[in-house]
Structure 1
Amino acid sequence: MSTSTTRRIRGSRRRRSFDLRATAVYFALLALLLVVLGFVVRAAGAVAERRPVWTAVLCLVAASAAVLALRGRRRRHLAERAAQQAAAALQEATRTALDALEAPAEECPRSRVPTVDGMPADDRAPVDYEALDPDGFEQAVAALCERDGCSSVEVVGGAGDLGADVVAVDPQGRRVIVQCKRYGDGNRVGSQELQRFGGTCFTVHEADVAAVVTTSEFTAPAVEYAAQCGIVCVDGQALRAWSEGTGPTPWSLGHQTPTAP
């Protein structure tokens, strides 16, 4: 009689099935959260100086989202719901922060004195343009253009500017080229300076409206030449009226079809 040895077969452990769909959803939500976090950090940096309270709120929300993401490896389903809620909160906070950035520009009245060198001017006193250096004067004129509805305002003055110090687009969509002359009393803008500007403002810079803005005055020949060419002359008195909101803007006086010199 033979004795057979019975081999005991151990039951294999049942492996946990891999859920591809749940894993894909988890990583998609995590990627979305990272994109939103990057956008919020960029927006928060822009408002950090003017809106410190919002900056603190965004940092707290971002920290909470990061903690929830780390815990997601153990509690996946809870982390998915928390990530969705955090993403919604971050989007809402981003919209609020962007609204806060846009609010000052929408509430700026037309008669407000422009900002010079990043410092707000007193609304009750006009800017002393003669006290500015040439670069500061160009910045101040650009601020006036932006204040009164111009878009794409740029300060391009410098070596090789060919007479263009400020470039802008007025509310009617016309291209505005401005040359800035910060002169003291007794130093008037002459016809030769107007002629040099007239030779480039329309042909080179393709201006629809060309203007020369000065803190001083223009000579009679300069005014005559400007009238023939369609160049707007803004002297110190007209500049103060423009700045205070009691005078016209240069583009409202601009000639549509200038006469060739």
Structure 2
Amino acid sequence: MTVPVRRTPFVNRSRYGFDLRSTALFFVFLAVVVCALGLAARVAAGAVERRPAWVFVLVAIAVAGCLGLRRRWRLAGVARRAAAALDEAAREAAEVLDAPDPAESVPAPVSATATAPTTPIAVAAVAVDYDALTPEGFEEAIAGLCERDGCTEVEVVGGAGDLGADVMAVTPDGRRAVIQCKQYGESNRVGSQDLQRFGGTCFSVHEADLAVLVTTSDFTAPALEYAEQCGIVCVNREGLEAWTDGSGPQPWGAALEDGTAGWEAAGSGC
């Protein structure tokens, strides 16, 4: 009679069994690590014993390292967000540049009175509304007329402490011109006191060869008498408009007869 042999079930020793080699290697590695940590602790203890100040140095270095790593991560996040924002701004700018500008198809309105003409072309090409200009703009407009008609070294010097000189220039015939600008209303005429103040500085202080007072109004009779005595050329509103549109002479040109085009001829000096 044959007795059946019972087979022993296969057991995976790699999973459930005891591996002597792996266990030995683990304990060897653990021993090496423990020895290394002990040696490092001993060296550190000896260094601290010899130089206690190193403890603070090592602690400071460790804290600084931790803070540096934290800050680096934080800066990296900020840099990523900044890069994303710049990229978005660049895309928006590209879209704006590619879009057509509606202002290009609509011509801008031209206003002759918005700013003072400062170039010969602007002065000659448009009719200037002197009443609408600021005082500084009126001085710039007179300087523009001088440049248009051939003066050199034209300079606007009006302001606090100008001692009566608003515009200075050298006329085409080489004379030093000193111009005072009076932007008055039609009912406010230039009086003799204005002329006297200007006459007291134009020749003695500014060394003018030609003194001119230009106004958007007119002059009183005493003012014209004083100007004739001192040699100051007076240009009223009518004369200024004639100078502007080219129908009248420049202040340094030949003087017209009294009452013509608003000019009053100057005398030989005070």
Matched letter for residue 243 of structure 1:
T
1:109-141 CA-partner distances (Å, limit 9, x unpaired)? xxxxx9616797486641011111100000000
Question: Would you say the 8 A contact 2:230–2:266 is kept in 1?
Answer: no
Distance 1:190 1:126, change over 3 A: same
Give the C-alpha shift of residue 242 in structure 1: 0.1
Contact 1:181/1:214 (<8 A) preserved:
yes
1:137 aligns with 2:158: no
TM norm structure 2: 0.51
**Matches of 2:146 and 2:131, distance apart in 1:** 18
For the residue of structure 2 that corresponds to 1:246, the secondary structure is coil
Deviation at 1:246, TM superposition (A): 0.7
Structure 1 pair 207–178 and aligned structure 2 pair: CA distance change class (3 A):
same
- What residue number does 1:167 align with? 168
| Distance in 2 of aligned mates of 1:123 and 1:158 | 26
Q: Is the 8 A contact 2:227 2:266 kept in 1?
A: no
- 1:24-73: per-residue Cα shift (whole Å, max 9, x none)? xxxxxxxxxxxxxxxxxxxxxxxxxxxxxxxxxxxxxxxxxxxxxxxxxx
1:11 is matched with which residue?
none
Judging changes above 3 Å, is the alpha-carbon distance between structure 1 residues 127 and 117 closer, same or farther for their aligned structure 2 residues? same
Write the letter of the residue equivalent to 1:134.
Answer: P
Q: 1:258 Cα deviation (Å)?
A: 3.2
**Letter matched to residue 227 of structure 2:** A
Kept in 1: contact 2:213–2:235 (CA 8 A): yes
Which letter does structure 2 place at the counterpart of 1:184?
G
1:85-113 Cα distance to aligned partner (Å, 9 max, x none):
xxxxxxxxxxxxxxxxxxxxxxxxxxxxx
The offset of 1:221, in angstroms, is 0.5
Distance 2:239 2:221 in 1: 16
Q: Provide, for residues 141-179 of structure 1, a one-character-per-residue CA deviation record: whole Å limited to 9, x for no partner.
A: 000000000000000000000000000000011000000
Secondary structure in 2 aligned to 1:189? coil
- CA distance in structure 2 between the aligned counterparts of 1:216 and 1:259, rounded to whole angstroms: 24
- 1:214 is matched with which residue? 215
Q: Distance in 1 between matches of 2:123 and 2:154?
A: 23
Aligned to 1:197: 198
Structure 2 equivalent of residue 66 of structure 1:
none
What is the total number of aligned residue pairs between the two structures? 147
SS in 2 for 1:199: helix
If the length of structure 1 is used for normalisation, what is the TM-score?
0.52
Q: Using a 3 Å threshold, how does the CA distance of structure 1 residues 224 and 232 change in structure 2: closer, same or farther?
A: same
**Structure 1 pair 235–131 and aligned structure 2 pair: CA distance change class (3 A):** same
Q: Secondary structure at the match of 1:251?
A: coil
Q: Please, which runs of 5 or more residues in structure 2 have no aligned partner?
A: 1-114, 256-264
User: Compared with structure 1, are the counterparts of its residues 253 and 194 closer, same or farther at alpha carbon in structure 2 (3 Å cutoff)?
Assistant: farther
Kindly provide the amino acid, as one letter, of the partner of residue 235 in structure 1: N
Amino acid of the residue matched to residue 154 of structure 2? V
Contact 2:213 2:232 in 1 (8 A): yes
Identity of aligned residues (%): 63
CA–CA distance in structure 1, aligned partners of residues 123 and 173 of structure 2: 30
- 1:246 aligned partner: 247
2:269 is equivalent to residue 259 of structure 1: yes
User: RMSD across aligned C-alpha pairs, in angstroms?
Assistant: 2.4
Query: Which ranges of structure 1 fall in alignment gaps of 5 or more residues?
Result: 1-113
Q: CA deviation at 1:232?
A: 0.3
Q: Secondary structure in 1 aligned to 2:202? A: coil
Aligned-residue offset at 1:240: 0.3
Matches within 5 A, 1:39-118: 116=117
